[in-house]
Amino acid sequence: MKIKKGDTIKVITGNDRGKKGVVAAVLPQAETIVVEGLNLKKKHVRPRQQGKKGELVRMPAPFSVSRVLLICPKCSAATRVGRREGSRVCKKCNATI
């Protein structure tokens, strides 16, 4: 996969189209990523202590890496990523990422 943890990405399809975020986790076997603040799903949490109430927690869910483009740190454009001599390269400005 050409996307790594800590990369800034832009979503190109789905409900969060056009939004930007930072990759929090990469799941290479499933070819999915988790992005902070995007693709939020509701999870019901049971009360852990007596007398407390249960709650709804919004947490990011993984989605396919094919739905995102990497934002190049040099040219600040959403771009495809290539490989050259073992490093990642921006397809728009040919800068090493």
Report the chain's terminal Cα–Cα distance, integer Å.
14
Every domain of the chain and the residues it spans: 8-48+55-90
Task: Enter the pTM of the model.
Answer: 0.85
Q: 27-38: buried (b, 16+ CB within 10 Å) or exposed (e) per residue?
A: eeeeebbbbeeb
Domain 8-48+55-90 is found in CATH 3.20.20.370: no
Structure confidence by residue, pLDDT tens digits, 37-93: 999 999 999 998 999 999 999 999 999 999 999 999 999 999 999 999 989 999 999
pLDDT at 1 (0 to 100): 86
CB burial readout 52-80, b (16+ within 10 A) else e:
eeeeeeeebebbebebbbbbbeeeeebbe
Q: Other CB atoms closer than 10 Å to residue 97's CB: what's the count?
A: 18
**Which residues share a beta bridge with 90?**
81
Instruction: From residue 87, give the alpha-carbon distance in Å to each of 1, 21, 22, 71.
Output: 12, 22, 20, 16
